[in-house]
């Protein structure tokens, strides 16, 4: 069995894509400095990054964005937005040029240390973090102003705590520039923020990767209303899955909920899904800005009223 936190050579023998953890190279790179780094692994997120990156750059000490075979100029947009935010020095853009297996059956069939494995992709991406805390983030997740505040505080309060932080997110299915559906019928809660260290690396799970952490780690659950996940209704949200059958039969209820909502909206019957809320932006305000800056801050709490999922 591999030593926990050891460097990981990739199956393909490509030295540039071996995982070299910072704690194994202190003499070369120095110790991790206090702070929080956000790691994005993205593919074709150019449309979302102008919403996603500015609040994250305001919240985290550093951002690492790893572009994986984008065809829409994602890497360029990321660098431009960081520069526009005056944060070019706190932004690292990287390229991962290998096709990564899709979640589900394809992932299961891939060796964990192959450059094509989600597990290796994650470990390689996080090996570029140089702060004591790191968080994974998706290229379609937008922080609200309250979310920026919470992460900004955690960036220094977590220091030496060893705690892991879970953050609820709210999927926002966008119909047009002025209309969207917010899913408040299911609690989408995952741990996103972890300390950096040998006990907190990624390992292979059935459908995707999971990040390890000691059972003794304290767990903090952030409040609701901090994050929305953008889902443009005309795009194929499920392209990164091997097959839709994987989705329908997923053991993970949140995946089944996402599929339920997607199907209902595509069939024009969003109002039949319990907990799905239609939101209309006022004239001249984009629906994403309206939800993030006005609707969510003012919405009564609790936001999420869980509905029963079919078994």
Partner 1 sequence: MTPVDASASPPIKRRVVFVVGSGRSGTSTMAGTLRTLGMHVPQPEVQADETNPKGFGEPQWVVDFHDELLQRCRVQVSDARPAAWFEAGRLANLEPLRGRLHDWLAGQFEAGGPELVIKDPRLSWFLGLWRSAALRCDATPTYVTMLRPVTEVVGSKQRYYAAKFGEVQRTAAWVNMMLHTERATRGSARAFVRYGDMLHDWTVPVFGLGQAFDLAAVQTAQANDIRAVHSFIDPNLRRVQLTWDDLEVPARLREIAEEAWQHLDRLADPDGDVPAVHDVLDQLRAAYGTLYDEAEAISASTALASHREGRLEGEKAGAASAVVVRRGAQRLPHGVRALVPARVRGWLRRVLRRPGRA
At closest approach, how far in Å is the CB of 146 from partner 1? 5
Cis ω for the linkage preceding 300 (within 30 of 0): no
At closest approach, how far in Å is the CB of 152 from partner 1? 6
97 near partner 1 (CB under 8 A): no
Binding range to partner 1, per CB under 8 A, among 19-27, 104-112, 203-211, 279-287: 279-287
At closest approach, how far in Å is the CB of 153 from partner 1? 4
Determine whether 142 is exposed, middle or buried from the number of CB atoms within 10 Å of its CB (0-12, 13-18, 19+): buried
At closest approach, how far in Å is the CB of 311 from partner 1? 27
Task: Enumerate residues 6+ apart whose C-beta is below 8 A from 25.
Answer: none
Q: Please work out the total of residues on this chain that contact partner 1, with binding judged by CB under 8 A.
A: 37
At closest approach, how far in Å is the CB of 180 from partner 1? 10
Instruction: Please select the residue that binds partner 1; options are 71, 160, 216, 272, rule is CB under 8 A.
Output: 160
At closest approach, how far in Å is the CB of 191 from partner 1? 13
State the first-to-last Cα distance of the chain, in angstroms, to the nearest integer: 37
- φ, ψ for residue 119 (rounded to 5)? -60, -50
The site map against partner 1 for 215-244 (x = CB under 8 A) is -----xxxxx--------------------
Tell me how far CA of residue 156 lies from CA of 40, 114, 147, 219, 292, in angstroms: 20, 35, 15, 16, 24
187 near partner 1 (CB under 8 A): no
Instruction: Please select the residue that binds partner 1; options are 105, 114, 217, 294, rule is CB under 8 A.
Output: 294
Distance CA 60, CA 152 (A): 6
Distance CA 292, CA 297 (A): 7
264 near partner 1 (CB under 8 A): no
Determine whether 40 is exposed, middle or buried from the number of CB atoms within 10 Å of its CB (0-12, 13-18, 19+): buried
Taking phi over 0 as left and psi of -120 to 50 as alpha, with beta for the rest, 261 belongs to alpha
Interaction site with partner 1 (CB under 8 A): 34, 58, 145-146, 149-150, 152-154, 156-161, 163, 184, 220-224, 277-282, 285, 290, 294-295, 297-299, 301-302
């Amino acid at each position: 069995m591999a030593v926990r936190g050891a460097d990981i050579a990739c199956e393909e023998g490509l030295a540039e894509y071996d995982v070299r953890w910072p704690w194994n190279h202190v003499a070369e790179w120095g110790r991790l400095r206090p702070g929080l780094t956000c790691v994005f692994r993205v593919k074709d997120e150019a449309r979302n990054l102008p919403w996603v990156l500015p609040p994250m750059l305001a919240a985290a000490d550093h951002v690492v964005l790893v572009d994986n075979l984008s065809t829409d100029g994602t890497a360029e947009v990321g660098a431009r937005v960081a520069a526009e935010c005056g944060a070019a020095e706190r932004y690292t853009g990287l390229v991962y040029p290998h096709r990564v297996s899709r979640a589900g059956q394809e992932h299961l069939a891939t060796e964990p240390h192959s450059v094509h494995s989600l597990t290796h992709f994650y470990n390689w991406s996080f090996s570029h973090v140089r702060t004591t805390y790191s968080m994974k983030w998706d290229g379609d997740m937008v922080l609200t102003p309250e979310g920026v505040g919470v992460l900004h505080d955690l960036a220094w309060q977590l220091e030496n705590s060893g705690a892991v932080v879970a953050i609820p997110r709210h999927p926002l299915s966008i119909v047009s520039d002025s209309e969207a559906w917010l899913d408040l019928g299911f609690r989408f809660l995952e741990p996103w923020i972890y300390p950096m260290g040998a006990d907190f690396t990624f390992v292979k799970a059935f459908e995707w990767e999971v990040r390890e952490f000691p059972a003794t780690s304290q767990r903090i659950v952030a409040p609701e209303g901090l994050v929305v996940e953008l889902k443009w209704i005309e795009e194929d949200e499920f392209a990164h899955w091997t097959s839709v059958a994987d989705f329908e039969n997923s053991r993970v209820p949140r995946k089944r909920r996402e599929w339920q909502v997607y199907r209902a909206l595509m069939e024009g019957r969003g109002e039949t899904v319990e907990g799905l809320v239609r939101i209309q932006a006022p004239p001249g305000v984009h629906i994403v800005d309206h939800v993030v800056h006005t609707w969510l801050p003012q919405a009564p709490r609790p936001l999420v009223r869980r509905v029963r999922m079919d078994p």
